[in-house]
Structure 1
Amino acid sequence: MSNVLFDVPGPKARVRHRMLAVLGVLIILAVLAFIVYRFYDSGQFAAKKWEWLQYKQVQEDLVSAIVATLEAFALGAVLALIFGSVFAAGRLSDHKWIRGIAVTIVEFFRAIPLLVLMSVFYYGLPIIGVKTTPLIAVVLGLTLYNGSVLAEIFRAGVQALPKGQSEAAYALGMRKTRVMFSVLLPQAIRSMLPTIISQLVVLLKDTALGFLITYQELLYYARFIGSQGEFGRPIVPTTILVAAIYIIMCLLLTALATYLEKRNRRSKKHIEPTNNKANQIMLGNAAGGGAVAGGSV
């Protein structure tokens, strides 16, 4: 049975799709060209607007801002993956009360805007006597929000696996917790890797919200430099530079996802021939055993 949910386009439709794609690309390029022209016309590319990059202190502070961004991203990503794994397992539990708790927590934190979470942790926790820092508030917000989204991704990945995977593990005497974390989740993570990396890219960009609670990441530093009168208030140049840095980091994450996906496909190709050879040996032995048994009868 075919899994195709749409009609395969014919020759005319393919030509029409290519023409629309080319037209869309041309429109986007025209918009970008107009924006660049307006920046050039307003003097945003003048040397005076970019001379702040020549100062050693500015370069060091910019590197520190990049490190702060990557620190928040790394902590948030690791904790979000752990949070997502645990609550995905909870949502798939056989115990109704565990499922209820997991569903409530996941849906609750998915429904709250990330900026609200960061603000609550930064401004709200000190009111009840809990000391916090901008980094802790940013990481907690990133963990709870993105971890809830990852929990749904993991759950969908586990449910998409063939039932034979879990049935084989249970037949070996494994408990459900071990089946979930040793058999199902690793396979779900591999199959959902592009989606997981896409969510981590979102998490990386979400670190920029930290500047609203005074976390000194890239956007915070861009706003600081852009407000300096001695550099001619280069808010547009600093924004362009920060945007380029974010684009590079996101492209590196995407390249990592592509590399891991290709490596996963290569490993499968190496495993399948081995399994086929083993199956042939087993079938040959079975056939030989049948012939011997037939002869003895």
Structure 2
Amino acid sequence: MTAVATSSTGSTALYDIPGPLARRRHLLYGAVATALIAGLVAWVVYLLFDTHQFTAQKWDPFTYKGIQELLLRGLGNTLKAFVYAAVLSLALGGVLATARLSAHRPVRWLATLLVEFFRAMPVLVMIFFVFVALKVQPLPALVTGLTLYNGSVLAEVFRTGVNTVDRGQREAAYSLGMRKTQVMTYVLVPQALRAMLPTIISQLVVALKDTSLGFLITYEEFLHAGKLIAGNLDYGLPFIPVVMIISPIYIGMCMLLSWLAHWVAKQQRRSLKTEAVEVAAAEPGTLLPGPAEHQPRIPHSPDGPKSFE
């Protein structure tokens, strides 16, 4: 028997409903996988207890107000570096992508050179270069390195996303009298953004995790604060407890970014439906939202609308 599944995006797919033997086989696979995972978790917990990672001495630091303030300050510094790097990376990526899509060959060549250079350069090398050679403070050095690397990667994401939009839509927009800026703003970018959004969020997650490189240049971010606690002899070098505290927070921030991407995509789908209703009710000949006097209009002749074939 064949069934039809409908996804949240409205697409459909055909698949065969598993029979009794297939269901029993899948149940067996699930039970074996669950047993293996449970065994692995039990083994890890046993090792943690066997190495005395849950002793009170190793967990006492987290009950002190000074240690809590140190972690919160480090988390705030991490978020500060990430926000700066994310905003600047998106801006730099947009500029470089626009340059790579330019009709002027020298501009394209220069943008391509910059993108390929910063993509190939390890981000840690750039951070160290800015910090040591240029003698910049830790926060600007970290943000500069993250911006140059992630901005060059996002430039390729933006350029590829725009180029994946069907060429016919670009040509149809030009044939209707739209300028290049209007074609990019109203036709290409909105469609490309929906396809690019998961990749953009994934790259921002990379930027968030790479803020941890700041501890190598003495920037007092979250990992740097954890390192100070983990290396404390008075508490028995609580390295594993620090990892168990810091890791879930990093994972939670990355999951929050993914949720944000899902929310933005949902808002975009609602916006598309609203725009479709507005276009359906628009004045005949109006192509874009806004006052009719500023819109490119479909040419008419006494014999009827012209053909753009």
Q: Aligned equivalents of 2:241 and 2:167: distance in 1?
A: 54
SS where residue 91 of structure 2 aligns? helix
Within 2, Cα distance between the matches of 1:168 and 1:160?
Answer: 16
Give the paired residue count: 273
Give the C-alpha shift of residue 10 in structure 1.
8.3
Q: Residues 274 and 186 from structure 1, CA distance in 2 versus in 1: closer, same or farther, beyond 3 angstroms? A: closer
CA distance in 2, matches of 1:25, 1:268: 42
> Which residue is 2:101 aligned to?
92
| 2:270 paired residue number | 266
Amino acid of the residue matched to residue 271 of structure 2? S
Distance 1:68 1:21 in 2: 43
Q: 1:176 aligns with which of 164, 177, 180?
A: 180
Map of 1:243 onto structure 2: 247
5+ residue gaps, structure 1, are: 1-6, 127-131, 281-292
Q: Which amino acid aligns with 1:118?
A: I
In the TM superposition, what whole-angstrom CA distance separates every residue of 1:149-168 from its partner, at most 9, and x where no partner exists? 11111111101113344335
* 1:219-262 residue CA offsets vs partner (Å, 9 max, x unmatched): 11111111111222111111221111101111111111111122
1:254 aligns with 2:263: no
Deviations 1:106-140 (CA, angstroms, capped at 9, x unpaired): 010110111111111101113xxxxx111111101
**RMSD (Å), alpha carbons:** 3.2
Deviation at 1:75, TM superposition (A): 0.4
Q: Distance in 1 between matches of 2:55 and 2:215?
A: 27
Q: TM-score, normalised by structure 2?
A: 0.77
Deviations along 1:140-198, whole A, 9 cap, x unmatched? Answer: 11101111111111111101113344335545655535643565334422331111111
Work out the CA distance in 2 between the residues paired with 1:82 and 1:279. 36
Q: Which AA in structure 1 matches 2:108?
A: R
**What's 1:192 paired with?**
196
Q: Distance in 2 between matches of 1:24 and 1:279?
A: 60
Q: Secondary structure at the match of 1:192?
A: helix
**Which structure dedicates a bigger proportion of its chain to helix?**
1
C-alpha separation in 1, matches of 2:151 and 2:27: 39
Rounded to whole Å, the distance in 1 between the matches of 2:181 and 2:279 is 28
Q: Give the 3 Å change call, closer, same or farther, for CA 214–47 of structure 1 in structure 2.
A: same
- Per the alignment, residue 227 of structure 1 pairs with 231
The equivalent position to 2:78 in structure 1, one of 47, 69, 78, is 69
Q: 1:76 to 1:182 in 2, by over 3 A?
A: farther
CA contact (8 A) 1:85 1:185 kept: no
Q: Are positions 1:150 and 2:154 aligned together?
A: yes
List aligned pairs for 1:206-225, cutoff 5 A: 206-225=210-229
Q: 2:143 corresponds to which residue?
A: 139
The residue number in structure 1 matching 2:116 is: 107
Quick one: which of 37, 60, 66 aligns to 1:51?
60
The one-letter amino acid of 2:201's match is I
More displaced stretch, 268-277 vs 17-26: 17-26
TM-score, length-normalised on structure 1? 0.80
Paired letter, 1:262: K
Gaps of at least 5 residues in structure 2 are 1-13, 285-303, 305-309
Q: Which residue of 2 aligns with 1:289?
A: none
1:198 aligned partner, one-letter code: S
Q: Distance in 1 between matches of 2:154 and 2:88?
A: 11
Whether the 8 Å contact between 1:80 and 1:147 is mirrored in structure 2 is yes
Superposed displacement of residue 215, structure 1 = 1.0
Higher strand fraction (1 or 2): 2
SS in 1 for 2:162: helix
In structure 2, distance between residues paired with 1:65 and 1:102: 36
